[in-house]
Amino acid sequence: MSDHGLTIGIKASQQHASIGDLRRLWHTADEAGFDSCWAFDHLVPMGRVREGDIFEGWTILAAMAEATRRIRIGTLVTSNLYRHPGLLAKMAVTVDHLSGGRLTMGLGAGGDAYADAMFGLPLPTARERVGRLGEACDVLTRLWTEQTVTFRGTYYTLEEAHSDPKPLQKPRLPLWIASNGPRYGLRVVAAHADVWLNASLTPEDLGDLVRLSRRLDEHCADVGRDPATIRRAVQFRVPDRADEILRAAERYARAGFSDLILMPYQGGADRVEELAGLLPALRALGETPS
């Protein structure tokens, strides 16, 4: 069992829903006691049918910041390809201030071949995307913590850049990184992440996640970092039945995943309210027996 204690979040994408629907969902999650509420960062809907309404992720986060009072908010995850890290640093600080210091920075290498082709966006190789992700983490951290930044990387260049104000959260915003490449991606996680994020469509994926978690431990040793300083998070689609949800959550918790993000298929605020009824049982999974 993880010794971190569990946090329980809810992720409901901003597709096929009205702004009114989303506001009700955020308010319900905030009032019900979830630890976090997440949007995603896609330009077209995800799923078998990739058409329909979808709202942009970071403008949604600004609205979430104003519509909630206590819950942590963020994207799972921001595509590093869509925004220069200098711009992203400024956007994130703005939302952090709007929320009173409740933003979590979720970041991934990005890449959606369907949407990128539609909008004429370049789609670099996987190796380049991971390289860009690592440099972006450096740039973000430095812009959030240093007065003036000069950076000359392979992909990004900054010359005496300044970015004020700084985040309300110190020393910088919490950084959740989604990257699973055993050779390069997990190296970025080991170097930069506060939390390593994974997606699991079914609990049967758990074996693969555990093997990757062990590989992350090896990368941490290589960079001189205690692997216990990186929390392990998993987002998973919730089954219909409460007992199945609890069984899935228990498997993740026992495997060392301390941040559980529930992804309901549908149902909006009503479904979030139903899932909130499971919070006491879910939190009990992280309690250390006396």
- Structural domain spans, the chain: 7-284
Contacts of 36 (CB under 8 A, 6+ apart): 7, 8, 9, 10, 71, 72, 73, 74, 104, 259, 261
The amino acid at residue 99 is: S
What per-residue confidence (pLDDT) applies to 2? 42
186 Ramachandran zone, left/alpha/beta (phi>0; psi -120 to 50):
alpha
What pLDDT was estimated at residue 86? 98
- Residue 289: predicted pLDDT: 52
What pLDDT, on the 0 to 100 scale, is given for residue 95?
98
The per-residue pLDDT for 102 is: 98
Name the architecture of domain 7-284: Alpha-Beta Barrel (3.20)
Model confidence, pTM? 0.95
> Two tokens at 226?
């205690």
Please report the sign of the dihedral spanned by the C-alpha atoms of residue 58, residue 59, residue 60, residue 64: positive
- pLDDT score of 290: 41
Q: What angle do CA 37, 264, 35 make, to 5 degrees?
A: 25
In the prediction, which pLDDT does 3 show?
A: 46
Ordered per-residue pLDDT tens for the chain, 290 residues: 344 589 999 998 899 999 999 999 999 999 999 999 999 999 999 999 999 999 999 999 999 999 999 999 999 999 999 999 999 999 999 999 999 999 999 999 999 999 999 999 999 999 999 999 999 999 999 999 999 999 999 999 999 999 999 999 999 999 999 999 999 999 999 999 999 999 876 777 899 999 999 999 999 999 999 999 999 999 999 999 999 999 999 999 999 999 999 999 888 999 999 999 999 999 999 885 54
Pairing verdict, β 103-108 and 157-161: unpaired
pLDDT of residue 288: 58
Measured distance CA(199)–CA(270) in Å, rounded:
24
The whole-number pLDDT of residue 4 equals 53
